[in-house]
Structure 1
Amino acid sequence: MSLRLRPLALAASLYCCAPWALAAPAAWDSVNLLQQADDLPEDFQAHFFDVPLVVRVERDGQYLGDARAVLSRDNRVQLLDFSDSADSALPDRERERWLHALAEPQPLGECAGQCAPGLQRLHYSLESSLLSLATSEGQRTPADQRYLQLPDAGSRGLILRHQLNAYAGQGFNTAGRYALDAQGSLGHWSTVASYQLDRSSEQGAVLRHSVQSLYAQRELRDHFLRVGYFLPNFQGVTRQPRAPNSPNYTSLGLMAGSSDILLADSSAPSVYPVYVTANREGMLEVYRDGSLILTQALQPGLQRVDTRRLPGGIYEVELRVVEDGRETSRERSLIHKPGNWANPERRWRYSVFAGYQSSLFDSFHDPERGRGAFGGIVNYLAHPRAIVGLSVQQVGRQQAVGTSLDWQVHDRFNLYTNAYRASGADSGDGSGLDVQGIWRYARGTVVASHSRSWQERRREDEDYYPGRWAEAERPQFPTRSGWLRNSALALNHRVGNSGHLSARVSHSQGVSSGVGLDLSFNRRQRLFGSDANWRASVFDRPANASSGQRRNRGVDFTLSLALGQAQRRYSANLGTRTGRTGGRDLYAGGGVQQSFEDGLVRSIGAQASVDREGVGVGSSLQFEHPALRGDLQAQRSSAGGQLSGSVNLESTMAIGGGHLALAGGQLGSGAGTGMIVDLASDLPGLKLGAHDSRGGSYTLRPGRNFVPVAAYRSGQLQLDFVGREAPAASIQPAALGYHLNKGGVAYQQVSVQRTLTVMGHLRDAQDRPLAGAQVINHTSRSVSEASGFFTLEMSASQPTLEVRHPSVGECRLSLLAGEHPSEDDVVMLGTLRCPLPAAPLAVGLLNDGVGR
């Protein structure tokens, strides 16, 4: 054949073979296990069917792990366990998921009838010993893969958080607050409700109550929708311009805005792509400030750098290309990843609301009730270094307009500005400007801020100086219009590895005028063989009520030392300040605090101080109960000896799956989604560790537990024993999967039973080895080898075995005590015959001393 015709002939051959190549997967699917095993010798087939084999498992073409599986002659497959998964990029929860889904034999081929969620097809190749799983996730389009998949049927649940705060003392009224926050899930909607009952300690204060929110919200990929009662503020934007006259009363209406909650990958690439070129296969090294932060494999030619894994911000990096162990090129490039901007391709972010002012079970008087309420806010990514914001809102007769600019001037310098203008029928007109800049250097930061606002008119019932004042002591300052200015410059500098210097200079003009100076030095070191922290500070601050309306000047030295018993700290302080009458006041004090890891009381402390007024004492206590947590404080003032005290209580209640759980510890604080776990065990003093695949570890104890989990993202709680020495016991199930919307609560039961390892040899009635028999107990299951031998973890409290095999049907064995040898937690059963002989078979176990 001519050399000119060879390429044409090759192209024609490939074209003709294309239909066969495309049809090859279907042809493979039609070949069952018996057809694939026809070419095997008959002796080999006995070691291929109904016995544990090691196979490679792939999910949608991705390596899942090496596993032990059982293949049956009726074209079914069963997974026993995974033996190796070190080279798999998929998380452990995926292996647990499919191990559970294929625990019972499943037919190969296209899935029909009752199948595991998401499973569409199973295929096994004898030639490559490969088990392939085709799932619905593999058919998702790239657009679908960008977003989290919500639970098909949604989720149900309700989490109630109760808070109680109270303060009382001699000489003033009692103040208190009770708040109830509810987060729920109903299908694909999340529900939010909050209620507050409070009373202040001011003269003439009355008991007030209000429903601050009661709405439902739905996440819709890049957006959210809210319906119900809510405060007319904004959500879903990166920078929100500040403006006065923000309404404190609820509106009934709709709100919509941008949302990044359902983004599957919150990491964003650089706004401007970065490219490198390599002549040969090699490696790219990315350095920032001399530190390696990323490596990437390179192929010959021009290619794009994967900047998603780089940290956020705008900074310079150095790109080094290494080929054959030798650096071939080096260049510098700029990374543009704006902070808090998950997708730089979407340069606009927004939030809008519309409705009318309305309240529900509210004791407040809203002068704008029944009037319209609407507003909107937008953020625009004008440049990778600059985010511009604009907000407009009108609630009744109150109007407010605000603008903002978030500008990263340099890699180490950020500037944030905010300007606003507001007007209202009752509160008057006002305008203002805020500027804040932060400069970061190698060992610290410098922060400068300035704000100024103009108040045209104030309501007569408002006071520049709120607080508790006796009528004779109330300062007589004029309530006038004018500019209010505040400026500050702060420095935080790290000195060595254990020292820290802080300095702040401020100037205010308006309500309180003057210059303030604070300077302090902190150091952590070893003192008297113990860990110690000490701080020295000097201050000069503007006049206030506690300093007799004179400037407050003084110095302070504080020492905190861990001395004596573990978890105990001592502290002492000495200094001088301006007293209540304006004179110099020397003071000294000391305290001790003891912490506890377990028990109802978690910490207890006591303090005492001496000054020119007298002696003051105080005490504090923190406690934590499975249903309630909180703290108590009590004080006796050195001035007059007045007694005062306060209490803060918090409790969380979760309802889901028809069950209720109380969480008083830190697990329930702030939890918006969770799981109720009932743990039953025959082991005394059991503790289980629950490790969330999404991050976080928790401790479970026998009884009812509540564990917070991540919302919207599917995950798993891996359970194991706490401590280095695990008991001979089985955890069923060992992994708890979840996939919940915000506010959803799932329910799971976990059983931990003491186990024994039993080893035996199965034979049939003709004394032939019983290969491929499933040996099942309440705790675990196993499959006998071709020789009939098996090993199984068995519950010590339920010593029964069930043997399943097509040739013998079902065979149940009751294991009695005292007839077979045992060592520690291992029992040798010897030969077991199935089907059972005429008399029931009893196999002995040594209960005394076994598994203890």
Structure 2
Amino acid sequence: MVNNKFVLPVIIACSLGPLSASAQPSYGSKVIGNYRFPDTLYSLMEEGIKIPVYLINNGTVSEKEKAAGNRYVRIGTVTLFVDGNKLGLREVEVQESGNGIRLSKEMSTLLQGIDNKKFNDQMQIPVKPGTAFQLDQKKMRLLLTLSQDDYGVQLRPREVDIDAPESDDLSGTFTYNLGAYHTRSGYGSNWTSGYLNARSWTSMGASHLLIDGSGYVNKDSHETQMNAIMLERDYQGMRYAAGLLSGWAMQSVASVSGISGGEVYGVSVGNQANSRKRDNTLSLTPIVLYFPSSGEARIRRDGQLIGIQRFDVGNHELDTSQLPYGIYTVEIEVVNGGRTVSRNIYTVNKPFSNNISQSLRWQLWGGVYNRDKAIINVEKYRKHKKSDDNTYYYDYDTHHKDTMSLVGASFGKRSGMLDWSASTYMMREQMVGEFWGSLNLSSYMSLNSQSMAASDGTWRANYGANMRLPWNIGSVWYTHEKLSSGRFLDLYENNGNTWGATFNLPSFGLPSAGNLSLTRQEDKAYHYKRYQVDFSQGIYAGRYGSARLRLGLSRYEYLNDEEKDRYVMLDFSIPIGNTVSVGVTHNRDSGTALNVNASRQFDGDYLKSASANIAKAFSSNEGQRDISGGGSVNFDTPWNSNILSVQSGTSKGWNATLTSSGSLGWSKEAFAAGRGTESAGVIVDTGLQGDDALTLKLNGRKEKLKGGKTWVSLPAYQNYDLEVMNSETGTESYDIGSNARRHITVYPGNTVVMKPSVKKIVTLFGRLVDEHGQPIGATQIKNHVGITRTEQDGRFVIDVDKNNPILSIATPDDSLCELRLDIESNRGALWLGDITCDKGNYVWQETNGMMERDNEKAIRS
């Protein structure tokens, strides 16, 4: 086959043209149908020549655009051949990826079937009714006209499996979170309480072992609890797990509120997996637009233009990732050359925090459930029976266990506007079913419901509604909860409701609109009511900061008791990271008090923020002093994050609280500790020392790297792009070579080690002169991290490795001069002044074509 990409157009332009009915063929050419082909081209066509295939944009293309060539879109190539004085086609190659055009499966199949087919008397090759190939003899190309049904559409995947793990080597992570407080009362008594939660993940690729435990210390007791010992593999959309989970941790498997306390020994399998990611930036319902020719889509919401996207000919999915979240309608115009081809209304369905898939999610699980034995408290039960026949009260025997079988299944799906999940499970002979659903009626209104029913008589009915008010003036919500316990499930009853509202009030010329919120909460089972009203209004915003007024009123009723609180606060924000609040509060116990609070944010590596508060009581029903206060500080170390707070009250007592969290990662290559409590991470080993600092760019955000090894804690089941680069604020400069960039995928327990090649460099400025002080130009100077040539006046600039500060200078007699520099104490850049090569600096000479060492030992300055 002959490739005629450059020769063929010349032959065509010079030799081809349509024949009239009376025309006679000239010497050296052949006629096929209405086309005359020179003998040279005809001989090429006997072997087969490739010509381009173009789609014809019809209908909306103006004459001006036709003249500009916008009527045709190239989609591939085809081989044109001649056989027995007949033209034919074979080897149709459609290139869809390069131009954004996608053909339907039916049309692609038909085009692939165009093999060794001949042109008919009308010089066409039919593909399907109404569609045929035709030859453009002037430009020697094949033309094809398609209808809307002939185009396909490439939909963006809503669910994507993450990549395989970085490696299958053994590695692990460990995280902890602890908190403790010590209280000393004004009466001399004191007590201490605290907790510690620790988690360990040991992994080999996508499989890992999780060990999760907690410890609790109170005044007179201490207790430990194992939350999980579980083997898990979550890969390519399927999750397999086996081991122990506490009753609390079972909520991570499915909605199983009937399981409280105790522990479960079992297994689970299903496609409710973290390794399959749902792209919630896309509308759940794709919006597909047809473009009869290349053009643009203009997107309007409530009459406002919110986006413009351009597409080529064919069917295309609108990129809804660029549109706001929510459920709303948009009007989309398809425009070509200033003309509106179509205008239609579509619905964008983008819930902000929705993880439910349009495909069915399922999980099967079961094992053995072990809990403390629950015994009905008959006295409480009989007393309560007077008002409610469906409520049972339990006492617990912690010395005896109630062991039973457990088997269950859970499901979840998005069906149109309804998101739902359901679980059904059996404990011993008791059946339990749970359901959760959320109905998104519109962008302004949603309903939700949660229910449970068990064969022992336990049932729960929770429902609620959320409504966003028009014109962005606020929102209103309502929820109702009721649970009645039976004789097997040991659950606490409730019977209450909550309603609330927020309103954005007119600003009346002030810097910002006022915000008013109202909340009412009631529970008939526990006989309490809460009311709260809050109002805030910006009163100043300018170059000196901002000021905001806050007012609040709350009331709490319990049985026949009532308590009211009130506050007035004025907040000042100073544009240097400081906030000061001054206000008055009042409640029944502490009376009226003047409160002053101040806080400051810091940008340092260790100290993050500090705050202090002081209160002056004017009247109080209790307490031994009228001034109280305290402070807190948020600080980091290279290994963890901490918050320390000390407060005093109106009595002579005080209280101190400390919280701390941190993590570490390990592998066969390295070990490091740091801040963060995620289940995976990366160790960046730069080989630097002390306070030397670099920057790690991680998916666009920047992390500081300090010293030799830095541990960066990362959420699992994610992809990350890493790049080690120079710090923007550091005084040192570094040459960062190989292994500075990396793309990784981490699963729980994965610790990835990144070892970039890093050399500390100093930029040297100087002038090379000879022994007489005359400048030496056009001379090469190099170091193993930099190379340069001197200017005519001898000046040069070069980067030098600080740990190997040697300059190698080429000399006119083919010798090499080496100068060792003392730059250990210098940072960033250094002016050397005039430098010269003395005899003692020559380390070798070239004599008679041979490299020989100088007899004289090299003396390096």
Shorter-chain TM-score: what band? Answer: 0.5 to 0.7
**For the residues of structure 1 that align with 2:298 and 2:318, how far apart are their CA atoms?**
10
Of structures 1 and 2, the larger Rg is shown by 2
How far residue 215 of structure 1 moved from its aligned partner, in angstroms, is 1.2
Q: Does 1:687 align with 2:693?
A: yes
Q: How does 1:382-461 map to 2 (within 5 A)?
A: 382-383=415-416, 385-396=417-428, 399-422=431-454, 429-439=458-468, 441-456=470-485
- Name the stretch that deviates more: 830-839 or 653-662: 830-839
**For the residues of structure 1 that align with 2:788 and 2:853, how far apart are their CA atoms?**
26
Distance change (3 Å), C-alpha of 1:798 and 1:364: farther
How far residue 303 of structure 1 moved from its aligned partner, in angstroms, is 4.4
| C-alpha contact 1:157 1:185 (8 A) present in aligned 2 | yes
Q: What is the DSSP-based 3-state SS (H/G/I as helix, E as strand, rest coil) of the residue aligned with 2:180?
A: strand
**For the residues of structure 2 that align with 1:552 and 1:287, how far apart are their CA atoms?**
52
How far residue 408 of structure 1 moved from its aligned partner, in angstroms, is 0.5
| C-alpha contact 2:677 2:713 (8 A) present in aligned 1 | no
Match of 2:711 among 706, 710, 713: 706
**For the residues of structure 2 that align with 1:490 and 1:828, how far apart are their CA atoms?**
78
Q: Does 1:576 align with 2:586?
A: yes
Match of 1:559 among 570, 581, 588: 570
How far residue 193 of structure 1 moved from its aligned partner, in angstroms, is 1.9
| C-alpha contact 1:678 1:704 (8 A) present in aligned 2 | yes
Superposition CA RMSD, Å:
5.0
TM (norm. structure 2) is 0.65
How far residue 725 of structure 1 moved from its aligned partner, in angstroms, is 8.1
**For the residues of structure 2 that align with 1:277 and 1:656, how far apart are their CA atoms?**
53
Q: Does 1:537 align with 2:551?
A: yes
Match of 1:669 among 676, 694, 700: 676
Match of 2:662 among 651, 654, 668: 651
Q: What is the DSSP-based 3-state SS (H/G/I as helix, E as strand, rest coil) of the residue aligned with 1:641?
A: coil
Distance change (3 Å), C-alpha of 1:814 and 1:318: same
Please list the CA deviations of residues 733-777 of structure 1 after superposition, one character each: whole Å capped at 9, or x if unmatched. 47242523322112234534124579999xxxxxxxxxxxx9996
**For the residues of structure 2 that align with 1:709 and 1:782, how far apart are their CA atoms?**
42
Match in the other structure for 2:328? 315
Q: Does 1:182 align with 2:200?
A: yes
How far residue 485 of structure 1 moved from its aligned partner, in angstroms, is 2.0
- Name the stretch that deviates more: 695-704 or 750-759: 750-759
Match of 2:225 among 210, 222, 226: 210
Q: Does 1:629 align with 2:662?
A: no
Q: How does 1:464-475 map to 2 (within 5 A)?
A: none
| C-alpha contact 2:530 2:556 (8 A) present in aligned 1 | yes
Please list the CA deviations of residues 346-370 of structure 1 after superposition, one character each: whole Å capped at 9, or x if unmatched. 431123311113699xx99486654
Match in the other structure for 2:150? none
Match in the other structure for 1:467? none
Distance change (3 Å), C-alpha of 1:621 and 1:341: closer
Q: Does 1:743 align with 2:730?
A: no
Q: What is the DSSP-based 3-state SS (H/G/I as helix, E as strand, rest coil) of the residue aligned with 1:246?
A: coil
How far residue 486 of structure 1 moved from its aligned partner, in angstroms, is 1.8
Q: Does 1:376 align with 2:415?
A: no
Higher relative contact order (CA 8 A, sep 6+): 1
How far residue 687 of structure 1 moved from its aligned partner, in angstroms, is 2.9
Q: What is the DSSP-based 3-state SS (H/G/I as helix, E as strand, rest coil) of the residue aligned with 1:743?
A: coil
Match in the other structure for 1:75? none
| C-alpha contact 2:726 2:734 (8 A) present in aligned 1 | no
Distance change (3 Å), C-alpha of 1:672 and 1:533: farther
How far residue 276 of structure 1 moved from its aligned partner, in angstroms, is 3.1
Q: What is the DSSP-based 3-state SS (H/G/I as helix, E as strand, rest coil) of the residue aligned with 2:462?
A: strand
| C-alpha contact 1:407 1:416 (8 A) present in aligned 2 | yes
Distance change (3 Å), C-alpha of 1:579 and 1:559: same
Q: How does 1:433-832 map to 2 (within 5 A)?
A: 433-439=462-468, 441-456=470-485, 484-493=495-504, 496=507, 498-513=512-527, 515-526=529-540, 530-544=544-558, 550-562=561-573, 566-579=576-589, 585-598=591-604, 600-602=606-608, 603-610=610-617, 611-612=619-620, 613-614=622-623, 615-622=626-633, 623-638=635-650, 640-663=651-674, 668-681=675-688, 686-692=692-698, 694-709=699-714, 711-723=716-728, 727-733=732-738, 735-739=740-744, 740-750=746-756, 751-756=758-763, 778-779=784-785, 793-799=799-805, 814-816=818-820, 824=831
Q: What is the DSSP-based 3-state SS (H/G/I as helix, E as strand, rest coil) of the residue aligned with 1:150?
A: coil
Q: Aligned partner of 2:749: which letter?
A: G
How far residue 704 of structure 1 moved from its aligned partner, in angstroms, is 2.8
| C-alpha contact 2:362 2:412 (8 A) present in aligned 1 | yes
How far residue 839 of structure 1 moved from its aligned partner, in angstroms, is 3.4
Distance change (3 Å), C-alpha of 1:147 and 1:631: closer
**For the residues of structure 2 that align with 1:410 and 1:143, how far apart are their CA atoms?**
25
| C-alpha contact 1:634 1:645 (8 A) present in aligned 2 | yes
How far residue 264 of structure 1 moved from its aligned partner, in angstroms, is 6.9
**For the residues of structure 1 that align with 2:704 and 2:597, how far apart are their CA atoms?**
33
Q: Aligned partner of 2:241: which letter?
A: R
| C-alpha contact 1:730 1:755 (8 A) present in aligned 2 | no
How far residue 579 of structure 1 moved from its aligned partner, in angstroms, is 3.0
Please list the CA deviations of residues 23-57 of structure 1 after superposition, one character each: whole Å capped at 9, or x if unmatched. xxxxxxxxxxxxxxxxxxxxxxxxxxxxxxxxxxx
**For the residues of structure 2 that align with 1:173 and 1:461, how far apart are their CA atoms?**
32
Distance change (3 Å), C-alpha of 1:200 and 1:16: farther
**For the residues of structure 1 that align with 2:236 and 2:438, how far apart are their CA atoms?**
26
| C-alpha contact 1:507 1:513 (8 A) present in aligned 2 | no
| C-alpha contact 1:318 1:331 (8 A) present in aligned 2 | yes
Distance change (3 Å), C-alpha of 1:335 and 1:429: closer
How far residue 311 of structure 1 moved from its aligned partner, in angstroms, is 4.8
**For the residues of structure 1 that align with 2:685 and 2:565, how far apart are their CA atoms?**
57
Distance change (3 Å), C-alpha of 1:526 and 1:6: same
Please list the CA deviations of residues 320-373 of structure 1 after superposition, one character each: whole Å capped at 9, or x if unmatched. 2232245554332223456656786x431123311113699xx99486654222
| C-alpha contact 1:236 1:258 (8 A) present in aligned 2 | no
**For the residues of structure 2 that align with 1:163 and 1:277, how far apart are their CA atoms?**
55
Match in the other structure for 1:276? 289
**For the residues of structure 2 that align with 1:291 and 1:656, how far apart are their CA atoms?**
54
**For the residues of structure 2 that align with 1:178 and 1:146, how far apart are their CA atoms?**
37
Q: Does 1:352 align with 2:364?
A: yes
Distance change (3 Å), C-alpha of 1:430 and 1:781: farther
Q: What is the DSSP-based 3-state SS (H/G/I as helix, E as strand, rest coil) of the residue aligned with 2:161?
A: coil
Q: Which runs of 5+ in 1 are unaligned?
A: 22-60, 64-141, 465-481, 762-773, 784-789, 804-810, 848-852
Q: How does 1:3-14 map to 2 (within 5 A)?
A: 3-4=32-33
**For the residues of structure 2 that align with 1:359 and 1:194, how far apart are their CA atoms?**
19
Q: What is the DSSP-based 3-state SS (H/G/I as helix, E as strand, rest coil) of the residue aligned with 1:493?
A: strand
| C-alpha contact 1:686 1:702 (8 A) present in aligned 2 | yes
Distance change (3 Å), C-alpha of 1:753 and 1:557: same
Q: Aligned partner of 2:585: which letter?
A: G
Distance change (3 Å), C-alpha of 1:727 and 1:825: farther
Q: What is the DSSP-based 3-state SS (H/G/I as helix, E as strand, rest coil) of the residue aligned with 2:163?
A: coil
Please list the CA deviations of residues 89-115 of structure 1 after superposition, one character each: whole Å capped at 9, or x if unmatched. xxxxxxxxxxxxxxxxxxxxxxxxxxx
Q: How does 1:226-265 map to 2 (within 5 A)?
A: 226-231=241-246, 244-259=257-272, 261-263=274-276
- Name the stretch that deviates more: 629-638 or 290-299: 290-299
Q: What is the DSSP-based 3-state SS (H/G/I as helix, E as strand, rest coil) of the residue aligned with 2:599?
A: strand
Q: What is the DSSP-based 3-state SS (H/G/I as helix, E as strand, rest coil) of the residue aligned with 1:591?
A: strand
TM (norm. structure 1) is 0.66
Please list the CA deviations of residues 276-325 of structure 1 after superposition, one character each: whole Å capped at 9, or x if unmatched. 34443222222334454443323345544344554554321121223224
**For the residues of structure 1 that align with 2:536 and 2:489, how far apart are their CA atoms?**
46
Q: Which runs of 5+ in 2 are unaligned?
A: 1-29, 53-96, 100-155, 373-395, 769-779, 790-795, 810-814, 823-828
Identity of aligned residues (%): 14
